[in-house]
Every structure is written in structure tokens, then in C-alpha cells.
Amino acid sequence: MSNIRHALSVKREDDFAAWYQAAIAEGQMAEESGVRGCMVIKPWGYGIWERIQRLLDDRIKATGHDNAYFPLFIPLSNFEREADHVEGFAKEMAVVTHHRLIADGKGGLIPDPDAKLEEPLVVRPTSETIIGDAMARWVQSWRDLPLKLNQWANVVRWEMRTRMFLRTSEFLWQEGHTAHATAEEAKDHTLTMLEVYRAMAEEDLALPVIAGEKPEHERFPGAVETWSIEAMMQDGKALQAGTSHYLGTNFAKASGIKYQAQEGGEQFAHTTSWGVSTRLIGGIIMTHGDDDGLRVPPRIAPWQVVILPMLRGNDDDAALIDYCDGLRATLAGQHALGEPVRVLLDTKPGKPAQKRWDWVRKGAPVIVEVGGRDMENGVVTLIRRDQLWDMETGKLNAQAPTREIAGQTIPGVLGDIQQALFIEAAERRDANIATGIDSWDGVVEFFASNGKYPGWVEVQWAKPTGDALEQVVEKLKDQKLTVRNVPRDATPANGTCIFTGEPATERVYVARAY
């Protein structure tokens, strides 16, 4: 393996953070925009987001939600209403104070002092309050429930330190908001959406996740229950990839979401909210990427197969393109993973080797190169991005099926790659979760002695609350650790709490996190 010259300038094992930046830049996913904290999502990165959107939107609609659109701007007074202790309130948000630019008389522009807004507007950091207002208008009777809405939107949270896809001032997300007649129905729905996220992550993104409940101190402000899906990155850190909240009647009371019950009398609705964002793309990169760049799971790859004719700028090119187009047409007429195969015949000008490596770094699942000799022999050169190297020889692991065989087998290969990426990630994750550590000292020792990328530990605790929990959180924080979640499907606790020695009630994951 040492003789392999990888396509990225940085290796994961040397500097994971630098590798992540290189994978994004060289995979043509995104770049700095010049606007503080905001990125430009380039076509390949945005294409992946479009695929995630399409697949998740289908799942959200299949569970009975309608999409709607709510204003970008939220009046400042909505936040006064929300902040139950306004005195301590300080939030990083973009605030619009003026509605006009004028010339400053010195050749520049300034916000027009005569166009100051009476009430400043905040660029939405989330749409809880404005959707709550709409729900209060739309819900009158039990007949209007459940009300199940979703919004795809951009949101802004002013961030001091940003990292592409993981933490940016502006990001793209979906936020679901539902209102129900009963607590039971709302709690069920919170878990239904958690399961939608789990299935989307594992089936579409090939991202193995642990679905579970966040401990009390990690709840969304105002939530009664907060659930998450947590994924392990290749540096062993956890990434919270999606959350689903049961909000009780707290938000219904703040917004006035009330209904006439079927049995008479006025009741507050029980609400939920849940969201995932472009952060998922960061998770995909850090889970599937390797030292040659991205590896995009076929289900969410904008192009699943890229065909590269090795053009020479002469008269033979037309026949070569024609030969390639035959394969393209064959593949486009077939299905893989339940959808028509997305195949690109890339005839853009450029050196063949450079084009090949561009697609390797972008992580197209299957790359098919075709030179003049391939055409003469009736074959193509096929590269699986997830099996790029022949480990024995240190050379590219290319196959040479006939064009006909390639046309028949590639759809199945795409399914194989989707599965292989998931299995690889799940096996790595499972191999990097330590179980059986039964003391706090054991936890400290584990993270001190397991190298740069130690992974997670599963421990047992007695579910501390209030002050006791705060002490645990402080203890963890000193080690740069966090509690991730309490898995939904864990085997019951059978030991003692590593913090108090009491009989344990739950298993929880402890990890460093993004």
C-alpha cells in the first residue's frame, strides 16, 4: 500500500481536519464565498443535496406532511415572547435594521438613516415562532388535527468559527412542524420522524446511525423530549445528524395553538418539530471519504456512472463518442436501486487522466474509461470508486468487461457499492465502540490511551437529572467529552452507574463530537 500515490494532498491519518478541507475543495463540493461564514455550494455538492432532498421529501410526504413556505424575516418581538428569561438573552442572529441603501456623498453606500425599520427583523434561525403563529390561525377544531407541515429553507445562525457543511452562518435544511390532539399521538409522531431519519441516513446515505434520546441537558429549549440520530466519523468523533423533538404543549401555549375538542372544551395542541440540514453532507464526506477524495453512495450521487471517452482531438473521436453513447443509452434505459440509472457521457475538453482523477476525487461511484483500443476490442475500462486500488500491486483496480457485459452488470454494481459503503462504515463504527468500561477512570483511560481517533464508549448510568447531571456534564467537558444519546433499542442496563455507583438504568454513548 505504501507505493500508492493517493489523489489528495493530505491523508486522513495525518490531519483529519486538513483532509476534510482538501476533500471538499478537491471534490469540488463547496468553497468560501467571501461573505463571512457563508459558503458557495458548488454543482457537485448541491447535486448531492438535491438528491437528499428528493429522497427525504418523498419520505416526508409519504408520512402525510405537506410542504409550505414561511417568511425569511421574523419580527424581533417574537423572540421577546419566546425568551422566557429575556434578561439573560443573547443570541447570535443576523438583524435587519434598514430597508434602503443610499449614497454617502463620498462615493460609497450606507444604510439610509431615514429608512430605519420601526421594529428590527431577524433572519430566521428556525421558524418555530412564525409557524406557530400560522398554526394558531389554522387550527380551530379537532377536525384540523393533526396538522403536519414541512418547510425546505435557508436559515442563519451567526457563527464565530465556521467549518464547511458542519457549521456555517447560513445553511439549508428542512424543518418539520406538526400539531396533534394528544400527547400520545405527538410522541408517536416524534418517533415516526426519528425512524424516517434513521432509514434515510442508513438506506439513502449509507450512514449507519444510532437513534436514541438525548439527555435532559441536550434538549432543544422548550422541548419535553429530544431524540437524535448519531453517526461516527472516521476520526472517531460523533456527528449529530438529525433531531426530532416532542414539544408538549409548551410551544402551543406560547403561540396560542388551541382547538375545540371533539368531546367539547378548548385544548392546547401537542406539537413536534424535527430537522436535518446540509450538515448531513459533512457527515457523508467524513464517513465515506478516503485518501483519494469523496466516495458518494450511489443513491445520492448526482451521476452514478461517468463515461470518459479518451478523446484525442482527431477524426477518430466521433466513432469513440458513438461507442460510448451506446453504453450510455443502454444504462439510461435501466434501473438501479429503484430509479433510472443516472449516467453522464463526459465529452468536455481536457486531458483524460486529469478528468479521471477529477471524477475519482468527486467520488462518482463508477467510472468507465474508453480508449481507442478498448473500442477495437469491444471492451471498456471499468473502475469502482469503492475499490479503487489493487492492494497487492498498488495499481488502479480496473476491469475490462465487454461493452455489453458492462451495460448489463453496472446497475447491479451500483447496488453492491451502496451496500458495501454501508457495511464498511457500520463495521468500522462497531469496531470503534468500546463496551464493558464500568468506571469513570476507565473512560478517561480509554480516551487517553487509544490514539488520535479513539472512538466511542458505551457506558451505563443512573440517568442523573438537575444538579447531578450538571456535575456529570462538567466532568465530561473537562475531557472534551459529551453524552450522545440513549439508544432506542439498547439491551437493558445491568451494571452500575459509572458516575455514582448506583444501579444503572440506561446505556449511553460517550464521545467527542462535532
Which parts of 144-173 interact with a second copy (CB under 8 A)?
149, 153-154, 156, 158, 170, 172
- Per partner kind, with CB cut-offs from 5 to 8 A, the member of a second copy, Zn ion, none near residue 11 is none
Residues 14, 32, 66, 84: which binds Zn ion (CB under 5 A)? Answer: 84
Residue 238 beta carbon to a second copy: minimum distance, rounded to whole angstroms = 27
The answer to whether residue 301 forms part of the interface with a second copy (CB under 8 A) is no
Angle at 234 between CA 175 and CA 458, to 5 degrees: 80
Question: What one-letter code names the amino acid at 226?
Answer: T
Answer yes or no: are the C-beta atoms of 124 and 156 closer than 8 Å.
yes
Q: Which of 17, 86, 329, 400 binds a second copy (CB under 8 A)?
A: 86
With CB under 5 to 8 Å by kind, the binding choice for 331 among a second copy, Zn ion, none is none
88 is a contact residue toward a second copy (CB under 8 A): yes
Task: Tell me which of a second copy, Zn ion, none is bound by residue 84, counting a contact when its beta carbon lies within the kind-specific cut-off of 5 to 8 angstroms.
Answer: Zn ion
Residue 359 as a binder of a second copy (CB under 8 A): the answer is no
Nearest 5°: the CA angle 72, 247, 200 is 70
Distance CA 262, CA 408 (A): 58
Q: Do the beta carbons of residue 279 and residue 52 sit within 8 Å?
A: no
- What residues from 7 to 66 belong to the interface with a second copy (CB under 8 A)? 31, 33-35, 38-43, 46-47, 49-50, 66
Cα separation, 237 vs 122, whole angstroms:
33
Q: Does 349 bind a second copy (CB under 8 A)?
A: yes
Which of 63, 120, 182, 317 is in the footprint of a second copy by CB under 8 A? 120
- φ and ψ at residue 392, rounded to 5 degrees: -75, -45
Distance CA 382, CA 341 (A): 16
Residue 177 CA to residue 276 CA, distance in Å, equals 13
The residue nearest Zn ion at its CB is: 84
Residue 209: CB atoms within 10 Å: 26
Q: At closest approach, how far in Å is the CB of 470 from a second copy?
A: 24
Peptide bond into 503 cis (omega under 30): no
3-class secondary structure per residue, 250-264? HHHHHHCCEEECCCC
Binding status of residue 79 toward a second copy by CB under 8 A: yes
Nearest distance in Å: CB 112, a second copy: 7
Q: Which stretch binds a second copy (CB under 8 A): 101-109, 214-222, 375-383, 413-421?
A: 101-109
Rounded to whole angstroms, how far apart are CA atoms 316 and 437? 66
Is there a contact between 352 and 317 (Cβ–Cβ < 8 Å)?
A: no
Q: How far is the CB of 226 from a second copy (least distance, A)?
A: 24
Q: Confirm or reject binding of residue 100 to a second copy (CB under 8 A).
A: yes
Find the binder of a second copy among 4, 55, 76, 261 (CB under 8 A).
76
Q: Which of residues 122-141 bind a second copy (CB under 8 A)?
A: 122-123, 130, 133-134, 137
